[in-house]
Every structure is written in C-alpha cells, then in structure tokens.
Chains A and B, each alone.
Chain A
Amino acid sequence: EVQLVESGGGLVKPGESLRLSCAVSGLTVSNAWMNWVRQAPGKGLEWVGRIKSKASGGTVDYAAPVKGRFIISRDDSENTVHLQMNSLKSDDSGVYYCSTDYLNDGYWGQGTLVTVSS
C-alpha cells in the first residue's frame, strides 16, 4: 500500500523559512514524479512544483509564484521528498500536499498546514 505522510507545517512570520517533508512508503520516490500542491483556506488547488524521477532526469520545476524562494529535493536514502520554503509570505499560507500519479493511480498525503502571519 502506498502512503504519503507530510510533516513540518506550522506558524511562521513573514520572511521566515520552513521545511516540509513527505515520507513515502510503498513506492520508491526516485522512480516517481513527486509533486507539491497547496490549497489556501477556502480556495482551490495550486500546483507548487515537482521533482521528476531519476529516469526522467530528476529535474525540478516550480510555479511562478514560488520560483526562486522554494526548493524541492529528494532524499533517496530516506525515501522522502522535501520542500524548503524561504522568504515566506502571507499568500503562502495553506495546506500543503505532496502527491504523485504513479503506475496509473494517484496518491496524496493528508496535507500539512502552513500559516504565515505576523
């Protein structure tokens, strides 16, 4: 059974940093395209970025609003994906999900809440 478990959310002030983690079991993260998707309170889903599988080059892409501030990385030894979020703004507040569409199925974590407020 595939499981994705996010952690690391919390309350931070504008300008501060936070690191989210997505621990994966049931699949090897280096074999999957892993996404981060966020959802502001009462709003829709917004794609944040992804790290491609090793077979696809392992490259990382970001949405325009977070490019230059967020960094996605992968720890193969821990089978975990990370989202380093720097220079946080109030607009970055919301639930952050990691997800992957792997072997013709979709998997999402339960999400972790990030609140950016002074």
Chain B
Amino acid sequence: QSALTQPPSASGSPGQSVTISCTGTSSDVGRYNYVSWYQQHPGKAPKLMIYEVTKRPSGVPDRFSGSKSGITASLTVSGLQAEDEADYYCASYAGSITVFGGGTKLTVL
C-alpha cells in the first residue's frame, strides 16, 4: 500500500486561504469516508484537526475545513494565522490498514 500523495509545501500570507491536497486510490480515499488530517508542530505530537473527511473535533477552529472528491481529499485553512505554520498530514482508512500522506509543510509568509 503506497502512501497518499501530498504536496511537500504550501504557503500563504496571514488572512489568506490555502488548500492542501491528498491523493490516494480507489482502495483508500476513494472508497472510505474516513480521511483524517493532522497538524504537527516541530518537536510535538500530531494533533487531529479533521476526521471523517469533514468533521472537526471540539476545540479546532472552524477556519479548518475538509472535503473530498473522488480519490482526492483536501484540507483548507482560511484566515491563515502565524500559529497555523506546521506540518500537515492526511491519513485514510484502507480496510485492514491505515495509510498516511507524506506530509505538507505549511508556511505562513
């Protein structure tokens, strides 16, 4: 099972919106509505930002939103803030396993 494909980097200025894509296959992203997104700051444990494609855990700002079309899921961060600068990983349930994306480093300019 190959890793999901994410762009290695993304960037935006404060207040702008940025979208990070996550492309899988018909065996993972395309088959299940169990795509999650994690935020990881340097030296810290990952934090769940989105689960089941579009849902936000309590405490996650509504600036973060998720979507999916076919085999590609997306994370959109609106109204970028300095603290959003981090690595972002998507993950998808794929039946017996879970597969992660390679990660996207989001830079707030």
- A residues whose Cβ falls under 8 Å from a Cβ of B: 35, 37, 44-47, 50, 61-64, 97, 99, 101, 104-106, 108-111
Contact = CB atoms under 8 A, between A and B. Distances in A.
A34 to B, nearest CB: 12
Contact of B97 (A37, A61, A108, A109): A61
Task: Tell me whether chain A's interface is mostly helix, strand or loop, or mixed.
Answer: strand
A47 B46 CA distance: 13
B51 interface: yes
21 contacts: A35-B98, A44-B87, A44-B102, A45-B38, A45-B40, A47-B91, A47-B97, A47-B98, A47-B99, A61-B96, A61-B97, A64-B1, A97-B46, A101-B51, A104-B58, A106-B36, A106-B38, A106-B46, A108-B45, A108-B47, A109-B45
Interface string B1-39: 101000000000000000000000000000000001010
A108 B100 contact: no
Contacts, number: 56
B101 A44 contact: yes
Nearest to B90: A45
B89 interface: yes
Give the interface SS of chain B, mostly helix, strand, loop or mixed. Answer: strand
Given A50-B98, A97-B45, A106 B51 contact: yes
Nearest to B44: A110
A108 B39 CA distance: 12
B68 interface: no
Given A61-B97, A104-B58, A106-B46, 8 more contacts: A37-B100, A46-B100, A47-B98, A50-B98, A61-B96, A99-B46, A101-B48, A104-B57
Interface in B69-95: 87, 89, 91
